[in-house]
Structure 1
Amino acid sequence: MKPAARTTKKPSPVAGKDEAIDYKNLELLAKCLSSQGQIVSRRRTGLNSQRQRELKNAMKRARHMALLPFVA
């Protein structure tokens, strides 16, 4: 049997940076959306729980202000 192929994790667009997560930063928020318009999980973004909550609230605020789509 072949050993399982190892995949490398992509660097997170948010993790490790001191950049503030803000609803006006659409470039950053768009990187954390899946192709269906859903928020990507913590496992994929590499964020801690506090930063993930900030991301969630920024996404909701941007969607409410019609800066981001609810569904792609």
Structure 2
Amino acid sequence: MAEDKRQSRPRPTNYRFQKRRVCNFCANHIDEIDYIELAKEINKSGERVGRDGERRMRYITERGRILPRRMSGVCVKHQRSLAVAIKRARNMALLPFQD
């Protein structure tokens, strides 16, 4: 009876594996993230508008929160330095704490 519950389900026929996302900083061989350049990039990319009419930012949400790794597609090493750079840019008033 316990073995019946453990049986795996058959995979659907339209099932596809997701393509592995590559870190943007690793792909461009960027070792250090400069908070001034990051603030310029975020402010510039804030002008993008999605299909549903919402603003799209790459590393922070509309409300100013830092996106997690699984959403931004950044590796662990660069996510840590990205968070530090965003926090420094906020303290230098280059980025808002909230929108």
Normalised TM-score (structure 2): 0.53
Unpaired runs of 5+ in structure 1? none
Contact in 2 for aligned 1:14/1:45 (Cα 8 Å): no
Counting only pairs closer than 5 Å after superposition, residues 1-72 of structure 1 correspond to structure 2 as 14=25, 16-19=27-30, 20-25=32-37, 26-28=39-41, 30=42, 31-72=58-99
State the structure with more CA Rg.
2
Q: Matched residues in 2 for 1:48 and 1:24: separation?
A: 21
Output the aligned Cα RMSD.
Answer: 2.6
- Deviation track 1:2-37 (CA, whole Å, cap 9, x = no partner) reads x7xxxx9x9876462223421011233x23111111
Which has the larger share of helix? Answer: 2
**Percent identity among equivalent residues?**
34
Q: Structure 1 45/16 Cα, relative in aligned 2: closer, same or farther at 3 Å? A: farther
